[in-house]
Structures are given as structure tokens and as C-alpha cells.
């Protein structure tokens, strides 16, 4: 357990720092443009007429810790099929979460404007979105809680 945790942390910390650096220096600004081919049809379907990026773009950062978590799993190379599924499947779920939070921000902003009520209602969406990487990581790698931290949640 200690060796696996050490390997995990040795991979997680630099990966998070490097991916975070690229995210905050260039990818964060480009991400909405990369998302446009999916976002615009989704927004037309659900009736969103304005993407309130200023209110949601900081919460799109959650994709970075998720990618770092998946790539830091011990024996990632051996279990490459699970890793690819976790990486692409999890990123797809996170991107869907970004679209849903954008949708929620649009509709609650229509109803409440930039009032305290708006922020009280939207805060749980932000919290769920920001916690999503860890939840997805546990969903794809439930055995890692026991293997890395000795927490027996999903095992008998």
C-alpha cells in the first residue's frame, strides 16, 4: 500500500502541476471554442441563447484533476483498456457536466439575475461539478481506495 501510494503521489503532483500550467496559460481560453461543436447544438436543443462563460469557465477546470487522477493510477500501463475507458468516458461525463452547469446558469440567471438567490441556487451545481472528478475516479477505480489508502468501502 505505501509503495503504491508513493508512486501515485509521485505521478499525481507533477501531472497536476503540468496540466494545470497548460490549462491556465492557454487551454482555458481555448476550451469553450473546442467545446462549440458540441455545445452549440446542445444549447439550441435546450433553448440557451447566451453562454454565461464568465460564470462557469472557472468550474471547467475540473477536467484537469480528473485526467491527472486517471493517469496517476498505479499499473496504468498494464490496465490500459480500463485507463482509456476511464479517460475518455470520464472526460465525456465531465464535458456533459460543463454543458449542464452552463444550462443551469443560463436558466437561473433568467429567473433571478445576479441576485443572492441565484448564487444560493447555483452553488450546489458548482460544488457537484467541482467534486465530479473524484467521484468519477472512484467509479472507474473503486479498488484504489483500498489499494492506496486502506479504505474498504466497496470491498467485502
On whether the CB atoms of residues 62 and 94 are closer than 8 A, the answer is yes
Would 63 be classed as within a structural domain? yes
The model's pTM is 0.90
d(C-alpha 12, C-alpha 73), whole Å: 8
> What cell does 33 get?
471554442
> What cell does 150 get?
486502506
- The 10 Å Cβ neighbour count of residue 43 is 18
Number of separate domains in the chain: 1
- Confidence (pLDDT) at 144: 87
Would 155 be classed as within a structural domain? no
Would 12 be classed as within a structural domain? yes
Identify the burial level of 11 via C-beta atoms within 10 angstroms of its C-beta, where 0-12 means exposed, 13-18 middle and 19 or more buried: middle
Q: What is the pLDDT of residues 59-97, one digit of tens each?
A: 999 999 999 999 999 887 788 898 999 999 999 999 999
Q: Half-sphere exposure (CA, 13 Å, Cβ side) for 80?
A: 2
Would 131 be classed as within a structural domain? yes
Residue 128, pLDDT > 90, answer yes
Q: What is the pLDDT of residues 48-61, one digit of tens each?
A: 999 999 999 999 99
Would 154 be classed as within a structural domain? no
d(C-alpha 18, C-alpha 40), whole Å: 30
Would 36 be classed as within a structural domain? yes
pLDDT classification of 156: cutoffs 50, 70, 90? low
Alpha carbon of residue 29 to chain centroid: 17
Q: What angle is formed at CA 65 by the lines to CA 64 and CA 71, rounded to 5 degrees?
A: 95
Domain boundaries, position 131: 2-149
Amino acid at each position: 500500500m505505501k509503495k503504491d501510494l508513493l508512486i501515485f503521489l509521485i505521478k499525481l503532483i507533477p501531472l497536476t502541476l503540468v496540466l494545470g500550467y497548460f490549462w491556465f496559460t492557454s487551454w482555458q481560453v481555448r476550451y469553450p471554442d473546442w467545446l462549440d461543436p458540441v455545445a452549440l447544438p446542445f444549447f439550441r436543443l435546450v433553448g440557451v441563447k447566451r453562454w454565461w462563460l464568465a460564470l462557469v469557465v472557472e468550474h471547467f477546470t475540473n477536467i484537469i484533476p480528473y485526467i491527472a487522477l486517471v493517469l496517476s493510477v498505479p499499473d496504468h500501463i498494464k490496465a490500459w483498456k480500463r485507463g482509456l475507458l476511464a479517460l475518455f468516458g470520464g472526460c465525456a461525463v465531465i464535458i456533459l457536466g460543463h454543458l449542464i452547469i452552463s444550462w443551469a446558469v443560463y436558466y437561473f440567471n433568467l429567473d433571478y439575475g445576479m441576485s443572492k438567490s441565484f448564487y444560493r441556487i447555483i452553488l450546489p451545481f458548482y460544488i457537484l461539478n467541482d467534486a465530479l472528478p473524484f467521484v468519477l475516479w472512484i467509479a472507474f477505480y473503486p479498488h484504489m481506495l483500498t489499494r492506496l489508502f486502506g479504505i474498504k468501502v466497496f470491498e467485502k
